């Protein structure tokens, strides 16, 4: 599929805008573009902006003003883009009397707010959604956020009629286009509908295969240009639903796909099969994980779901699988099965009107009846005023004899960047503790012998020595700044021109989230005889959210990275590439600046007896 031209808005690039991308006669992509991070959720953490893709199918004579003119809008954006999206849609579809049908994939309050505006502009509007989507639309149509209840409900238009899609279904032909709708429910988006246009082989995949990256290009230049962003999106949102994602991929194998157009990011043309295989591989890795945490949640405005995403991301970093279940749409027998086979439990709830939603109360009862008291539990939730739902969960589970893996988490409204990082680290610690308990049990069962640690090849691997260093990183400004640090000894020079270094970073390190392409960091090389102070500071156990650099006398590199004054030397690097290597990421960075604090000092060296541990 080739795009003949691209029309761009003349607005400033630091504002939201919508660009129109003609794909074929009667098919237009309306892409919302943002150069900045839209929200604080973990999925936007790379801070590379975003796009929101909608698709407008029209009959050839749609502009002649007839009431029977048909137009189908697939996956409209949320109201965040409303001020720029609605004028663009009106320009593309000026006939307000047109028979506009809107295919609604995932449903949330932000998107419903835009649908209300559409209903005022196009009185013949009809909504098309799956059964779960229709339920959510009906619940949210008259619902207002806390603090808006004083506004007159008459401002909200009547809900348009809803056509429900129960199984794969073809829509009436529009122009030369044939659209098939495919229900694709997942715990995170139970109402998801995916559209497939068969004449072009265009899979409009909504959240699947998406990436948060700001681009005006219709399609990615090559797979490497968006590889990191797509993997980050998968890890944040798809990994806890790996089983459902794998099932959807199997269904798509029967489609004659030529292009994938996700809800966020550029389309994937020639390389779609490669991305498809990546999704299969990533999902298979999750499904084969040795331990599983069941995550039960409900979310009214998306805030509790954002907390769940961050906790799940942290757990998945440790190699523990997360099985996510939206309690509003999960049958009771599936909840029972999930709880019975899980190795630990997480349950999260919003507080609505001083109470937990009914599906959470029901899931709590199932957990109390079927849960194993020898397995850890964690609770979390968002609230606007009081947070009684989280208190209820804590009281019932403590009285029920459950042991908590972390303190109950209460977040008022939306988590900010520092809270998101704390939540991720909380999940990582939870996953580590589960794995440690599993290893202790395995050692007891085998009499305490660790075969891998005594393997001759592993012993030989331990004879490779490395320089003792402390990696420090800082990102952001003011209250939203994030920082991290870790002891690093798997460090090597990686190139002469440009000067570069490679560092191996475990996937479950907190600082790993600050080491994506384009991020800066400092490598502080420790001096022999003076390394103990730094090692004592950075080898200690930190609580989730703790500031690793607090209390230290630091200098700053030219790009504001923390430098340890007692170090032998320092380098400032900028991450260029990341390569996945088993349970570590191999980071390659170009060196921008550096210096030697002590010209007469000697580099501290890390000696090991086995390659099984650091």
487-518 per-position pLDDT tens digit: 999 999 999 999 999 999 999 999 999 999 99
**Of the candidate ranges 182-186, 449-453, 528-532, the one whose mean pLDDT is the lowest:** 449-453
Residues 6 or more apart whose CB falls under 8 angstroms from that of 424 comprise 42, 310, 311, 313, 314, 317, 510, 513
| pLDDT for 89 | 97
Average pLDDT over residues 478-483: 86
Whether 441 maps to a domain, the answer reads no
Whole-number Å distance between alpha carbons of 600 and 569: 11
**Residue 580 pLDDT level (bands cut at 50, 70, 90):** very high
> CATH number for the domain including 303?
3.40.50.360
The order of strands in the sheet holding 500-506 is 482-488, 469-475, 520-525, 569-581, 584-596, 500-506, 491-495
Query: Among residues 284, 316, 337, which one ends one of the domains?
Result: 284
Residues 474 and 534 in one domain: yes
| pLDDT for 223 | 86
Residues 222 and 260 in one domain: yes
Average pLDDT over residues 565-575: 96
Residues 121 and 76 in one domain: yes
pLDDT tens-digit map of 123-148: 999 999 999 999 999 999 987 655 55
Whether 566 maps to a domain, the answer reads yes
Whole-number Å distance between alpha carbons of 514 and 407: 25
Q: Is the pLDDT of residue 535 over 50?
A: yes
**Residue 443 pLDDT level (bands cut at 50, 70, 90):** confident
**Of the candidate ranges 5-9, 132-136, 166-170, 411-415, the one whose mean pLDDT is the lowest:** 5-9
Whether 590 maps to a domain, the answer reads yes
Q: Is the pLDDT of residue 447 over 80?
A: no
**Of the candidate ranges 9-18, 357-366, 399-408, the one whose mean pLDDT is the lowest:** 9-18
pLDDT tens-digit map of 28-47: 999 999 998 877 788 999 99
Whether 8 maps to a domain, the answer reads no
Residues 374 and 399 in one domain: yes
> CATH number for the domain including 79?
3.60.15.10
Tell me the three state secondary structure of residue 179. strand
pLDDT tens-digit map of 184-223: 999 999 999 999 999 999 999 999 999 999 999 999 988 8
pLDDT tens-digit map of 241-262: 999 999 999 999 999 999 999 9
| Other C-beta atoms lying within 10 Å of the C-beta of residue 450 | 15
**C-alpha angle 227/230/234, rounded to 5°?**
135
Share of the chain above pLDDT 90, in %: 81
pLDDT tens-digit map of 592-605: 999 999 999 999 99
Residues 199 and 93 in one domain: yes
pLDDT tens-digit map of 541-556: 999 999 999 888 899 9
Q: Is the pLDDT of residue 272 over 50?
A: yes
For all residues of the chain together, what is the average pLDDT?
91
Handedness of CA 213, 217, 220, 222 (dihedral sign): negative
**C-alpha angle 485/488/492, rounded to 5°?**
130
Query: Among residues 403, 436, 469, which one ends one of the domains?
Result: 436
| pLDDT for 146 | 53
| pLDDT for 8 | 37
Residues 211 and 345 in one domain: no
| pLDDT for 148 | 53
Residue 91 domain boundaries: 17-284
Whole-number Å distance between alpha carbons of 551 and 325: 42
Whole-number Å distance between alpha carbons of 530 and 481: 30
DSSP 392-433: HHHHHHHHTTPPBSS--EEEESS--HHHHHHHHHHHHHHHHH
Helix 131-140 to helix 109-121 angle (10° resolution) is 80
Residues 229 and 324 in one domain: no
Residues 392 and 268 in one domain: no
How far CA 517 is from CA of 224, 228, 469, in Å, comes to: 12, 8, 21
Whether 417 maps to a domain, the answer reads yes
pLDDT tens-digit map of 369-413: 999 999 999 999 999 888 899 999 999 999 999 999 999 999 998
Whether 34 maps to a domain, the answer reads yes
Q: Is the pLDDT of residue 454 over 60?
A: yes
Return the C-alpha torsion angle 73, 105, 129, 107, nearest 10: -120
Whether 274 maps to a domain, the answer reads yes
User: Phi/psi of residue 361, each to 5°?
Assistant: -60, -40
| pLDDT for 9 | 36
For residue 310, which of 283, 337, 339, 348 has the smallest C-alpha distance? 348
Tell me the three state secondary structure of residue 73. strand
Query: Among residues 235, 264, 284, which one ends one of the domains?
Result: 284
**Residue 18 pLDDT level (bands cut at 50, 70, 90):** very high
- Please say whether the beta carbons of 590 and 576 come within 8 A: yes
Share of the chain above pLDDT 70, in %: 93
Whole-number Å distance between alpha carbons of 177 and 198: 8
Domain count, the chain: 3
Strands 99-103 and 554-556 come out as: unpaired
- Please say whether the beta carbons of 506 and 584 come within 8 A: yes
Residues 96 and 241 in one domain: yes
- Please say whether the beta carbons of 171 and 57 come within 8 A: no
Residues 57 and 165 in one domain: yes
| pLDDT for 3 | 37
pLDDT tens-digit map of 65-110: 555 689 999 999 999 999 999 999 999 999 999 999 999 988 999 9
| pLDDT for 436 | 93
**Residue 448 pLDDT level (bands cut at 50, 70, 90):** low
Q: Is the pLDDT of residue 296 over 90?
A: yes
> CATH number for the domain including 462?
2.30.110.10
Residues 181 and 264 in one domain: yes
Residues 312 and 420 in one domain: yes
Whether 613 maps to a domain, the answer reads no
**Residue 444 pLDDT level (bands cut at 50, 70, 90):** confident
Q: Is the pLDDT of residue 22 over 90?
A: yes
């Amino acid at each position: 599929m080739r795009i003949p031209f691209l029309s761009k808005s003349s607005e400033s690039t630091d504002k939201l805008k919508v660009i129109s991308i003609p794909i074929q006669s009667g098919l237009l992509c309306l892409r919302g573009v943002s150069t900045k991070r839209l929200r604080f959720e973990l999925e936007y953490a790379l801070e590379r902006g975003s796009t929101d893709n909608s698709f407008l199918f029209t009959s050839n004579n749609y502009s002649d003003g007839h009431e029977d003119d048909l137009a189908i809008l697939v996956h409209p954006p949320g109201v965040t883009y409303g001020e720029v999206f609605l004028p663009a849609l009106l320009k593309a579809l000026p006939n307000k009397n047109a028979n506009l049908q809107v295919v609604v994939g995932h449903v949330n309050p932000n998107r419903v707010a835009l649908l209300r505006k559409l209903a005022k502009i196009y009185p013949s509007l009809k909504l098309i959604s799956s059964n779960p989507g229709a339920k959510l639309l009906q619940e949210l149509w008259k619902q207002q956020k806390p603090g808006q209840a004083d506004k007159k409900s008459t401002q909200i238009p009547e809900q348009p009629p809803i056509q429900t899609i129960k199984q794969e279904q073809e829509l009436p032909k529009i122009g030369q286009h044939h659209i098939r709708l495919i229900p694709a429910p997942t715990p995170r988006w139970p109402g998801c509908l995916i559209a497939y246009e068969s004449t072009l082989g265009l899979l409009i995949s909504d959240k699947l295969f998406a990436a948060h990256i700001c681009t005006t290009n219709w399609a990615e230049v090559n797979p490497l240009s968006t590889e990191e962003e797509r993997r980050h999106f998968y890890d944040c949102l798809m990994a806890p639903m790996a089983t459902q994602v794998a099932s959807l991929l199997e269904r798509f194998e029967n489609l004659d796909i030529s292009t994938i157009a996700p809800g966020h990011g550029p389309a994937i043309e020639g390389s779609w099969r490669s991305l498809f295989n990546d999704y299969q591989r990533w999902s298979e890795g999750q499904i084969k994980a040795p331990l599983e945490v069941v995550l039960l949640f409900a979310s009214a405005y998306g805030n509790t779901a954002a907390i769940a995403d961050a906790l799940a991301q942290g757990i998945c970093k440790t190699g523990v699988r997360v099985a996510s279940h939206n309690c509003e749409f999960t049958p009771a027998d599936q909840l029972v099965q999930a709880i019975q086979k899980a190795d630990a439990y997480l349950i999260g709830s919003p507080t609505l009107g001083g109470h937990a939603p009914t599906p959470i109360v029901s899931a709590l009862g199932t957990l109390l009846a079927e849960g194993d008291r020898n397995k850890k539990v964690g609770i979390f939730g968002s609230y606007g005023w009081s947070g009684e739902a989280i208190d209820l969960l804590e009281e019932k589970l403590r009285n029920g004899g459950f042991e908590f893996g972390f303190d109950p988490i209460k977040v008022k409204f939306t988590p900010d960047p520092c809270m998101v990082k704390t939540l991720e680290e909380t999940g990582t610690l939870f996953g580590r503790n589960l794995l440690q308990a599993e290893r202790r049990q395995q050692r007891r069962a085998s009499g305490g012998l660790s075969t891998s640690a005594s393997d001759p090849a592993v012993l030989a691997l331990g004879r490779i020595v490395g320089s003792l260093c402390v990696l420090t990183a800082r990102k952001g400004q003011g209250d939203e700044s994030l920082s991290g640090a870790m002891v690093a000894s798997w460090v090597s020079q990686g190139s002469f021109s440009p000067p570069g270094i490679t560092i191996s970073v475990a996937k479950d390190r907190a600082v790993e989230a600050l080491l994506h392409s384009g991020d800066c960091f400092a490598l502080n090389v420790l001096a022999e005889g003076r390394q103990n102070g730094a090692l004592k500071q950075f080898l200690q156990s930190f609580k989730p959210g703790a500031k690793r650099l607090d209390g230290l006398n630091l200098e700053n590199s030219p790009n504001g990275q923390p430098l340890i004054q007692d170090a032998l030397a320092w380098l400032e690097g900028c991450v260029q590439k990341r390569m996945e290597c088993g349970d570590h990421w191999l980071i390659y960075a170009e060196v921008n600046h550096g210096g030697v604090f002590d010209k007469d000092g000697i580099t501290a060296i890390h000696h090991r007896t086995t390659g099984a541990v650091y």
